[in-house]
Amino acid sequence: MDAKALQTINFSGFTRPEKFVGRTGLSLTRTGKPEMVRMRRRKIACSYNNIPASILESGGHKYPLEEELILKNKSQQIQPYLNGRCIYVVGMMGSGKTTVGKIMSQALSYSFCDCDTLIEEEVEGNSVADIFKLYGESFFRDRETEALRKMSLMHKFVISTGGGAVLRPINWKYMHKGVSVWLDVPVDALAKRIAAVGTNSRPLLHDEAGDAYTAALMRLSSLFEERGEFYANANARVSLENIAAKLGRRDASDLSPRAIAIEALEQVGNFLKAEDGGYAR
Ligand SMILES: Nc1ncnc2c1ncn2[C@@H]1O[C@H](COP(=O)(O)OP(=O)(O)O)[C@@H](O)[C@H]1O
Ligand SMILES: O=C(O)C1=C[C@@H](OP(=O)(O)O)[C@@H](O)[C@H](O)C1
Ligand SMILES: [Mg+2]
């Protein structure tokens, strides 16, 4: 996002914007105007996307225009019923929460926050894997709950959670202040994706022996056994198998992140419709 785009950001919808801007490479000058500051870390936890569509459109399209139009159309349909509530993307590690969450935030002109990256920011920039190593999983889970508590105070964010965020009831208390959507991806597709990028960034997969795919498949299968019922607490569910069937595709793992984002907006819309007793006013 270039500095010019930043100047147009309207922070009016944020509570305590300074809390999130200074630490993520954006800073409010004395006049309250946002300006880029030198990033202290390699990743931005939260990016602010509510720049006018005109600037986005001038950026040109590098994706099929039809998908772009459907994304925009679906987000315009659900915006009024979201009422600025945050969207929490939940699912197993590797399910595409960070990737799809960003696409959803752009379509909705929402800001985006990755919970894991926010936690890394809070723990002196240590990676999730290092946090697990240095302080243990329970410390990480406490930081995860704190990050979700902070995000529950915000508006107009898509928040990509970590795969284990569903484990604690208190986390659901925070996530239920917004709308949650579960990316339900077949375990073998998860294993393929994680094997492709390596398990370094996912400490819960570190101790498995064997080749990357098999090790990931074994561990992910047992993790899903333990957690499946928790993901089902989400308000909406995106089944890649259902999308593949709708699109007449044989392999769910071939679906693009944008096709999944379209379905996620569709399912969030269905939830809002049911919640609102038919939102087509
Ligand atoms: N629809 C998809 N098809 C293929 N690969 C994907 C898809 N969505 C995400 N990925 C890849 O899978 C890996 C995990 O994606 P990520 O968004 O980090 O998932 P999560 O945040 O749920 O762990 C990344 O390498 C990403 O590029
Ligand atoms: O499933 C889990 O318990 C975890 C998933 C990771 O996030 P992603 O789902 O983004 O990989 C990260 O929060 C941590 O390694 C724990
Ligand atoms: Mg992620």
Give the contacts of 45 (CB within 8 A, at least 6 positions apart).
20, 23, 24, 113, 114, 117, 118, 120, 121
Q: What percent of the chain has pLDDT over 70?
A: 78
**Per-residue pLDDT reduced to its tens digit, 150-191:** 999 999 999 999 999 999 999 999 999 999 999 999 999 999
Q: Do 131 and 176 contact (CB within 8 A), yes or no?
A: no
Q: Considering only 29-33, 86-90, 220-224, 250-254, which range has the smallest mean pLDDT?
A: 29-33
Q: What is the mean pLDDT of residues 125-143?
A: 97
From the CB of 93, is ligand 1 less than 6 Å away?
A: yes
From the CB of 101, is ligand 1 less than 6 Å away?
A: no
What pLDDT sits at residue 280? 47
Residue 186 phi, psi dihedral angles, 5° rounding: -55, 140
Alpha-carbon separation of residue 15 from 20, 149, 250 (angstroms) = 10, 13, 45
Element (DSSP H or E) covering residue 180? strand 179-184
Ligand 1, residue 254: give the atom nearest the CA.
Answer: 3
Residue 159 phi, psi dihedral angles, 5° rounding: -115, 115
Distance 94 CA to ligand 3 centre (A): 7
End-to-end CA distance of the chain: 36
What pLDDT sits at residue 55? 38
Distance 277 CA to ligand 2 centre (A): 35
Higher confidence at residue 8 or residue 118?
118
Distance 31 CA to ligand 3 centre (A): 35
Rounded to 5°, angle at Cα 120 from 114 and 121: 90
What pLDDT sits at residue 20? 44
Q: Is it the case that residue 133 has pLDDT exceeding 60?
A: yes
For ligand 1, atom 16, name the residue with the nearest CA: 96
Closest CA to 55 of 99, 6, 20: 6
Q: What is the mean pLDDT of residues 215-229?
A: 95
Q: Is it the case that residue 195 has pLDDT exceeding 80?
A: yes
Closest CA to 84 of 52, 55, 36, 50: 50
Q: Is it the case that residue 62 has pLDDT exceeding 50?
A: yes
Chain-centre distance for alpha carbon 192:
20
Residue whose CB lies within 8 A of the most ligand 2 atoms, among 134, 202, 206, 220, for a mutation test: 202
